[in-house]
A and B are shown apart, each in its own frame.
Chain A
Amino acid sequence: MTLAPGDVAFDVEFRGITKRFGPLVAVNRVDLQVNKGEFLSLLGPSGCGKTTSLRMIAGFEQPDEGELLIGGTDAVGVPPYRRNVNTVFQSYALFPHMSVIDNVAYGLKQRGTGKAERIRLSGEALELVQLTGRQDHRPSMLSGGQQQRVALARALVMHPQVLLLDEPLGALDLKLRKEMQVELKRIQEQVGITFIYVTHDQEEALSMSDRVAVMSNGVIEQLDEPRVIYDNPRTSFVAEFIGDMNFLSGVVTEKVGGQFIVDAGGGVVIRGHGAASRGSSVRVGIRPERMTALPGSPEQQANSAKATVLSKMYLGDQIQISVSLANGQRIIVREQRASANPVLDVVYSGDEVLVSWDDKAPLLLEQTVPLQSSAEAEQYTPSEEAAVHASTEES
Chain B
Amino acid sequence: MPRVSRAKAGFSVWAGVVFVFLYLPIAVMALFAFNKPSEAALVGFQGTDWCALPPDKIGNVSVWNGFTTCWFSAGLHDPSYVPAIITSAEIAALAAIIATCLGLCAALALARMKTKIRAPFDVLVYLTLVVPEIVVAVASLIFFVQLRNHVPFFPQLGFWTILIGQVVFNASLAMLVIRARFVGMGDTLEEAAYDLGSGPVSTFRQVTFPRLMPAIVASALLSFTFSFDDYVLPAFTNGTTNTWPIVLYSAVRFGITPAVNALATIMLALTAVAVIAVALVLRRSRSRTTSAPDAVGSSLGGMIGF
Where the two chains meet, the residues of A that have a C-beta atom closer than 8 Å to any C-beta of B are 58-60, 79-82, 85-87, 89, 91, 93-99, 102, 106-107, 110-111, 154-155, 158
A102-B289 in contact (CB<8A): yes
Would you list which residues of chain B between 180 and 226 have a CB under 8 Å from chain A? 188-189, 191-199, 202-203, 206-207, 210-211
Q: In the complex where A60-B191, A97-B210 touch, is A81 in contact with B198 (Cβ < 8 A)?
A: yes
Q: In the complex where A60-B191, A93-B188, A93-B189 touch, is A81 in contact with B292 (Cβ < 8 A)?
A: no
* CA of A131 to CA of B85, assembled, Å: 57
A58-B195 in contact (CB<8A): yes
* CA of A110 to CA of B205, assembled, Å: 12
Write 28 A-B pairs (CB below 8 A) sorted by A numbering.
A58-B191, A59-B194, A60-B191, A60-B194, A79-B199, A80-B191, A81-B198, A86-B195, A91-B188, A93-B189, A94-B192, A95-B189, A95-B207, A96-B189, A96-B292, A97-B211, A97-B291, A98-B289, A99-B289, A102-B289, A102-B290, A106-B196, A107-B196, A110-B196, A110-B198, A111-B197, A155-B196, A158-B196
* CA of A322 to CA of B207, assembled, Å: 57
Chain B nearest Cβ from A162, distance in angstroms? 12
Add 18 more A-B contacts to A82-B197, A102-B290, A110-B197 (CB < 8 A): A59-B194, A79-B199, A81-B194, A86-B196, A91-B188, A93-B191, A93-B192, A95-B193, A96-B189, A98-B289, A102-B289, A106-B193, A106-B206, A107-B196, A110-B196, A155-B195, A155-B196, A158-B196
A80-B194 in contact (CB<8A): yes
Q: Which residues of B contact A111 (CB under 8 A)?
A: 197
A110-B289 in contact (CB<8A): no
Where the two chains meet, the residues of B that have a C-beta atom closer than 8 Å to any C-beta of A are 188-189, 191-199, 202-203, 206-207, 210-211, 289-292
Q: Which residues of B contact A82 (CB under 8 A)?
A: 197
* CA of A79 to CA of B198, assembled, Å: 10
B290-A110 in contact (CB<8A): no
Q: Which residues of B contact A99 (CB under 8 A)?
A: 289
Q: Which residues of A contact B195 (CB under 8 A)?
A: 58, 80-81, 85-87, 155
By Cβ-Cβ distance, the 4 closest A-B pairs, closest first, are A107-B196, A93-B192, A110-B197, A80-B194
Residue of B nearest to A101 (CB): B289
Q: Which of B193, B195, B199, B207 has the most CB of A within 10 A?
A: B195
* CA of A95 to CA of B191, assembled, Å: 11
* CA of A93 to CA of B191, assembled, Å: 9
* CA of A280 to CA of B10, assembled, Å: 82
Chain A nearest Cβ from B138, distance in angstroms? 45
Q: Which residues of A contact B206 (CB under 8 A)?
A: 106
Chain B nearest Cβ from A122, distance in angstroms? 12
Chain B nearest Cβ from A154, distance in angstroms? 7
Residue of A nearest to B198 (CB): A110
* CA of A155 to CA of B197, assembled, Å: 11
Residue of B nearest to A102 (CB): B289
Chain A nearest Cβ from B28, distance in angstroms? 42
* CA of A266 to CA of B203, assembled, Å: 68
* CA of A58 to CA of B206, assembled, Å: 21
Q: Which residues of A contact B207 (CB under 8 A)?
A: 95
Name B290's contact: one of A81, A96, A97, A154 (CB within 8 Å): A97
* CA of A91 to CA of B187, assembled, Å: 12
Q: Which residues of B contact A96 (CB under 8 A)?
A: 189, 211, 292
Chain A nearest Cβ from B127, distance in angstroms? 32
Q: Which of A86, A87, A93, A155 has the most CB of B within 10 A?
A: A93
Q: Which residues of B contact A59 (CB under 8 A)?
A: 194
Q: In the complex where A81-B197, A95-B207, A111-B197 touch, is A89 in contact with B292 (Cβ < 8 A)?
A: no
Chain B nearest Cβ from A244, distance in angstroms? 36
A154-B196 in contact (CB<8A): yes
A110-B188 in contact (CB<8A): no
Residue of A nearest to B197 (CB): A110
A95-B192 in contact (CB<8A): yes
Q: Which residues of A contact B199 (CB under 8 A)?
A: 79, 81
Chain B nearest Cβ from A114, distance in angstroms? 16
B290-A98 in contact (CB<8A): yes
* CA of A79 to CA of B291, assembled, Å: 27
* CA of A154 to CA of B198, assembled, Å: 14
Q: In the complex where A97-B211, A98-B289, A102-B290 touch, is A89 in contact with B192 (Cβ < 8 A)?
A: yes
Q: Which residues of A contact B188 (CB under 8 A)?
A: 89, 91, 93
Q: Which residues of A contact B291 (CB under 8 A)?
A: 97
Q: Which of A79, A82, A97, A106 has the most CB of B within 10 A?
A: A97
* CA of A96 to CA of B289, assembled, Å: 10
* CA of A99 to CA of B199, assembled, Å: 21
Chain B nearest Cβ from A132, distance in angstroms? 18
Chain B nearest Cβ from A12, distance in angstroms? 15
B289-A158 in contact (CB<8A): no
* CA of A86 to CA of B194, assembled, Å: 10
Chain B nearest Cβ from A193, distance in angstroms? 15
* CA of A89 to CA of B192, assembled, Å: 8
Chain B nearest Cβ from A164, distance in angstroms? 9
Chain B nearest Cβ from A80, distance in angstroms? 4
Name B194's contact: one of A79, A91, A94, A95 (CB within 8 Å): A79
Chain A nearest Cβ from B152, distance in angstroms? 48
* CA of A142 to CA of B49, assembled, Å: 66
* CA of A111 to CA of B197, assembled, Å: 7
Chain B nearest Cβ from A126, distance in angstroms? 16
Residue of A nearest to B211 (CB): A97
* CA of A111 to CA of B196, assembled, Å: 9
Q: Which residues of A contact B197 (CB under 8 A)?
A: 81-82, 107, 110-111, 158
